[in-house]
Structure 1
C-alpha cells in the first residue's frame, strides 16, 4: 500500500472499497456472467418484474404496514419488490439478492447443497465477489467453515447480519425516501378527492 493510502482513516478506505465495488458491478458485462449468476438474476428479477407489472397500486393499508415494521415489508412480495427497487437506486441490491438466495438455499435438495453453497459464497461473500455483501471478517470465516458441511443453516448468521443491516440502515432511508413520501402524497390527494366527491 502506498504511503498516501496508509495515512487515510479506515472509514475512508472502506468508502474507497465500496465505490470500487459499485463501479466494478456497473461495469460487469452480461455475457461475462456465469450461468449460475444469470439464474440468480433471473430468479430475483422475476418476482420484482411480476410485482412491478401488476396494475394494482399498493393500498394505503399495505404501505402503512410496511412503515410499521421491516418484518411486514419483508413478508410482502410487493413490499420486497418496491424495497428492492429502492436498494437498486442505492447500489445495494446485493443485500436483498443475498437474503433471497439464502432463503432459497434452505429449501435446496440435499444432493445440491454443496454446489449451491459454494455458488452463494463465491457470488456474495468471498473477497471481491461479484456481488459482495458487507460482512465482517469473523462472519465470513464462520460462513466459510459452515459451507464445508453444507447444511441448510450454514448461511444463517451471515443472512441475519445482512437482514439487520437492511433493517437498521436501508429501511430507515426507504421510509424517508421520495418513493414512500410520494405514496403519502398520493393517499392525501385521493382522500381529498373522495371528500370533495362526497359533498
Structure 2
C-alpha cells in the first residue's frame, strides 16, 4: 500500500515543490509560444513583462550594441505612469538621452517622428512618446527579437525558469 507524499523527507518535498514552480513557469512560456513556419516564437510583450526574460533580452541587446532601444522603451513606460508634475522633467530627460541627434543613446527614429516630438516638448502629456515608443517596439519585435530567440541569451533564460 502506498503511503503517499507524507512518507518522503521534507527536503524532497521542498525540491519537488520548487521543481513544480519552475515547470509551471516553463509551461506558461511554452503555452504563450506561437507556432509559425515550424518555429517556436514567444511574444515580445510577454518577454518584456517577465523579469528573467527582460534581463536576458537586455544582455542580448547589449551584445549587439542596441541596448538603447530597450532603455528608451522602458523610459517611456516609466514616463507613462509618472505623475503629471514630473512629466516635463522626465520628457526633457528622455528627449536629451534618446531622441536628440548625436546623444549617446540615440534611438533610430524617422525625421517625422523626431520633429513631432520636438514640437511636443514644451507641453508634454501622457501620450507624448507613444508614437516613438511604438516605432522602437516594432523595430525590436521585427529585428532584434527574432535574433534573440536564436541566441544563447534566450536559451539561458529558458534554463533559468
Same fold (TM over 0.5): yes
Partner SS state of residue 73, structure 2: helix
In structure 2, distance between residues paired with 1:113 and 1:183? 34
Rounded Cα–Cα distance in structure 2 between residues aligned with 1:181 and 1:111 = 42
Q: Which runs of 5+ in 2 are unaligned?
A: 1-20, 34-40
What is the rounded CA distance, in whole Å, between the counterparts of 2:118 and 2:47 in structure 1?
30
Q: Conserved in 2, the CA contact under 8 Å of 1:143 and 1:154?
A: yes
Post-superposition offset of 1:63: 4.7
Alignment of 1:122 onto 2:88: no
Higher strand fraction: Structure 1 or Structure 2? 2
| Aligned CA distance change for structure 1 residues 88 and 63 (closer, same or farther; 3 Å) | farther
Pair 99,174 (structure 1): closer, same or farther in 2 beyond 3 Å:
same
Q: 1:180 to 1:129 in 2, by over 3 A?
A: same
Picking from 56, 60, 74, the partner of 2:26 is 60
Whether 2:62 is the aligned partner of 1:85: answer: no
Specify every segment of 5 or more residues in structure 1 that has no aligned partner in the other structure, as ranges. 1-55, 188-199
Contact 1:146 1:155 (8 Å CA) reproduced: no
State the Cα distance separating 1:100 from its structure 2 match. 0.6
Tell which has more relative contact order, 1 or 2 (C-alpha 8 A, sep 6+). Answer: 2
**Among candidates 80, 83, 87, match of residue 113 of structure 1:** 87
Alpha-carbon displacement from aligned partner over 1:138-177 (angstroms, at most 9, x marks no partner): 1100111122221011000000000000000000000111
TM-score (norm. length: structure 2): 0.72
Q: Greater CA radius of gyration, 1 or 2?
A: 2
Query: Comparing both structures, which one devotes a greater share of its residues to helix?
Result: 1
Is contact 1:113–1:151 with CA below 8 Å preserved after alignment? yes
Paired residues in the alignment total 131
TM-score of the pair, normalised by structure 1: 0.59
Aligned-residue CA RMSD (Å): 2.4
